[in-house]
Amino acid sequence: MALRWAILDGRLHDRAGFTCGVPALDDYLRQRAGQHQREGIATTHVLIDDAQPARILGYCTLSAAQLLLCELREPDRQRLPAYPVPAVRMGRLAVASAERGKGHGQALLGHAVNRALSVRQTMGVRVLLVDAADAQAAAFYQAHGFRPTAARALTMYLPIGPA
Ligand SMILES: CC(C)(COP(=O)(O)OP(=O)(O)OC[C@H]1O[C@@H](n2cnc3c(N)ncnc32)[C@H](O)[C@@H]1OP(=O)(O)O)[C@@H](O)C(=O)NCCC(=O)NCCS
């Protein structure tokens, strides 16, 4: 298995064949992801195995975002200026049902962090932001270091500390 990342391309990747068990996340990939990408709303990153390059093992979407300083926990606010905190939002994250438990979810998170760090070479980014769909998703994020924001427990952030 040779895994790699790609930006979603409807001509190359089988969106219809992807199913993760959450209809809203399947529908997004099929019906909205391409449009959002063209319109600059969100970019969809797909995890692919080179042996079957059309098959989407998992995906996440990334967008620019910001978070009010007061949404961070007190220790995470220290030494930050009194402005909104620059962020990358991972709006959606899903792994194909048949591919669960193989570390792909963790790999997608790692990819999002790496993308955020890469963006930071040209533009400030201090947190990775997610909207967990439910308590189970929130538990997954919490297990990977995300913290709830002050206003909404399901909106969570991962601090990306100073370089
Ligand atoms: C949540 C999801 C992305 C996890 O993907 P996955 O590929 O099965 O997860 P991984 O194999 O990478 O798991 C990595 C670790 O997280 C843990 N984990 C997985 N789901 C978890 C959960 N709900 N709560 C706590 N930990 C969880 C695993 O046990 C594993 O821990 P380990 O390394 O100590 O064994 C996947 O289940 C999914 O797509 N769910 C449906 C959509 C969804 O809920 N998306 C979340 C955002 S809205």
Tell me how far apart the alpha carbons of residues 161 and 125 are, in angstroms, rounded to a whole number: 9
Q: State both tokens at 24.
A: 């809203």
In the predicted model, residues of the chain with pLDDT beneath 50 are: none
pLDDT of residue 1: 80
For ligand 1, atom 34, the nearest C-alpha belongs to 143
Give the residue among 90, 104, 89, 139 at the shortest CA–CA distance from 20.
Answer: 104
Tell me how far apart the alpha carbons of residues 76 and 161 are, in angstroms, rounded to a whole number: 9
Decide if domain 3-159 falls under CATH 3.40.630.30.
yes
For ligand 1, atom 10, the nearest C-alpha belongs to 103
* C-beta of 94 in contact with ligand 1 (< 6 A): yes
Tell me how far apart the alpha carbons of residues 46 and 11 are, in angstroms, rounded to a whole number: 13
CA of 106 to the centre of ligand 1 (A): 7
CA of 37 to the centre of ligand 1 (A): 25
CB 117 within 8 A of CB 133: no
User: pTM above 0.85?
Assistant: yes
pLDDT of residue 163: 74
* H or E element, residue 57: strand 52-67
pLDDT of residue 68: 97
| Other CB atoms within 10 A of residue 144 CB | 15
Which of 90, 128, 140 best tests ligand 1's pocket when mutated (most atoms within 8 Å of CB)? 140
pLDDT of residue 53: 96
CB 125 within 8 A of CB 88: yes
Give the residue among 51, 48, 54, 75 at the shortest CA–CA distance from 11.
Answer: 54
* C-beta of 22 in contact with ligand 1 (< 6 A): yes
* C-beta of 100 in contact with ligand 1 (< 6 A): yes
| pLDDT tens, residue by residue, 30-39 | 999 999 999 9
pLDDT of residue 98: 97
Domain assignments of the chain as residue spans, ordered by start: 3-159
